[in-house]
Structure 1
């Protein structure tokens, strides 16, 4: 009975209890026992539940098919919102599913042991690189984010064994990032790539490759979805590093928050007016 329901919920919802019993080669009494076993009063309630579930799946497929398409000139603003949010949500989910945990662990180990960590990125990926730096620094990791190509090269020239260089590039083809990563590698640093394409040139220059899973759409080259996916990897890397020394990391983060707390005005609960 359970196999029949899982295989074709919509079809079962359209059958009578006698028809379902025959399909499953069992008795109507057994069908009723199944209904009660799953928390339903009887077969009519099962048919209603299956029909609603089947309709919900159909609606979800229709919404996904629409949201997964490219932004078109005929789209309404509501369509645009739906497509953008769907792309970003999918980027997060797909990246989480695609992360190579062994590669992530290798990157975590390298950062934990590093004398210093250089992060290279330009444009949108440069913002992600600065985010990684901002996450690592409060943990006491000597990290530096370079968005200027010349500064990146000068810093890379000073790296050596025991250092880590992280290159962030969605396409994996940004020459400014590739040049800095290549130089860092010749100096003996461990190189790490954060990219959407594991066969891109950046992968050939990296000891460790952390891949994202994001797609760019119309009007959204270098879009938020790619940055959201990169930030998922950054968050995983940061948390992995923090977990290596949980108590020390918690103390360091508390110290950072304490220093910054004085830079905020007094907070008010939402909905409370200025004069309240």
Structure 2
């Protein structure tokens, strides 16, 4: 029986809380690519000059960005704030953090002629920023619900294609080591045929940065319609994948550049979410997870021990 898709758009469990100033920067970076061009202008303005925009009225920001007051308010709400007044308060907080050095500015893109030391420094900064943005924007209520479903699951199927497929394999390997029955699917046909077998006590997880990968969305839809608990790990929480997700875990991404495509930068934030899921499940199932982990370590150690006696 198909569940009512309206449930998915009712919002996360519990009262909505506006993002903290640090999370505002993360939300702008994450959501801007999926906004309309006029909303992007507002988002780019508040991200580029939080102090200046915090001093503007809604009319002033609309005039600065060549948009309307309604667009400014819609942008504020998309970023998680009840209204423009709440966004201004967050902008003031973000500006104070940047002034104190607690919110680093974004470094320049990697250039073709950059020395390798500069490449290392820029990549390290982007990785750190991506992790910080993901942590700041991750909905812990949604995360806790996903962890609870995984801990009680009869079976877990994880879908991912390309770089996201590698992340799916990483999650499955972790879950297997604490005794869960889990499968990673990168073949879309196999994913769908397996999704048909899922039921209410099962969990299906789709990992897609774009939120619009059809080969990942389709098995999640099938799992959703067969009653499984569904989770989306995505950089686009407003993307099509969220229509079939009971729980949405949003990832962030460092800025894409010619030498660093989205697939590289998105993997960092996806792996953080995977680790959060794994540790949360291990905590909830500690009595069985700890012995299972110990057994897997022992099995691997035994495999690498030299066989037979020591040669003299």
Larger radius of gyration: 1
In structure 2, relative to structure 1, the CA distance for the partners of 1:256 and 1:179 (3 Å cut) is same
Distance of 1:142 and 1:131 partners within structure 2: 14
Please report how far the alpha carbon of residue 223 of structure 1 lies from its aligned counterpart in structure 2 after TM superposition.
3.7
* Counterpart check, 1:247 vs 2:287: yes
* Alignment RMSD: 2.2
Within the candidate set 206, 209, 214, 2:253 is matched to 214
1:216–1:223 Cα contact (<8 Å) kept = no
Distance of 2:304 and 2:128 partners within structure 1: 31
Find the counterpart in structure 1 of residue 124 from structure 2: 85
Distance of 1:248 and 1:187 partners within structure 2: 28
Find the counterpart in structure 2 of residue 226 from structure 1: 266
Q: Which runs of 4+ in 1 moved over 6 A?
A: none
Find the counterpart in structure 2 of residue 270 from structure 1: none
Within the candidate set 284, 302, 306, 1:262 is matched to 302
Find the counterpart in structure 2 of residue 147 from structure 1: 186
Secondary structure at the aligned position of 1:70 is classed as coil
Aligned residues: 208
| RCO comparison, higher one (Cα < 8 Å, 6+) | 2
Instruction: String of CA shifts for 1:97-151, please: whole Å, max 9, x gaps.
Output: 2211100110011111111110000100000000000010111111110011111
Please report how far the alpha carbon of residue 264 of structure 1 lies from its aligned counterpart in structure 2 after TM superposition.
2.5
Distance of 1:151 and 1:223 partners within structure 2: 23
Instruction: String of CA shifts for 1:197-236, please: whole Å, max 9, x gaps.
Output: 2111111210100111112421222343311111111111
Distance of 2:255 and 2:213 partners within structure 1: 16
Find the counterpart in structure 1 of residue 196 from structure 2: 157
Please report how far the alpha carbon of residue 172 of structure 1 lies from its aligned counterpart in structure 2 after TM superposition.
0.9
Please report how far the alpha carbon of residue 75 of structure 1 lies from its aligned counterpart in structure 2 after TM superposition.
3.0
1:88–1:224 Cα contact (<8 Å) kept = no
Distance of 2:226 and 2:287 partners within structure 1: 34
Please report how far the alpha carbon of residue 265 of structure 1 lies from its aligned counterpart in structure 2 after TM superposition.
5.4
Secondary structure at the aligned position of 1:263 is classed as helix
Instruction: String of CA shifts for 1:44-91, please: whole Å, max 9, x gaps.
Output: xxxxxxxxxxxxx99x79xx54x6222234533332222111111111
2:172–2:182 Cα contact (<8 Å) kept = yes
Secondary structure at the aligned position of 2:288 is classed as helix
In structure 2, relative to structure 1, the CA distance for the partners of 1:134 and 1:252 (3 Å cut) is same
**Is there any run of 5+ residues in structure 1 with no aligned partner, and where?**
1-56, 267-276
Distance of 1:247 and 1:102 partners within structure 2: 24
Distance of 1:97 and 1:172 partners within structure 2: 20
Distance of 1:261 and 1:74 partners within structure 2: 45
2:127–2:254 Cα contact (<8 Å) kept = no
- How do 1:55-204 residues align onto structure 2 when only pairs under 5 Å count? 65=105, 68-204=107-243
Find the counterpart in structure 2 of residue 205 from structure 1: 244
2:179–2:288 Cα contact (<8 Å) kept = no
Q: Give the TM-score normalised by the residue count of structure 1.
A: 0.70
Distance of 2:216 and 2:243 partners within structure 1: 13
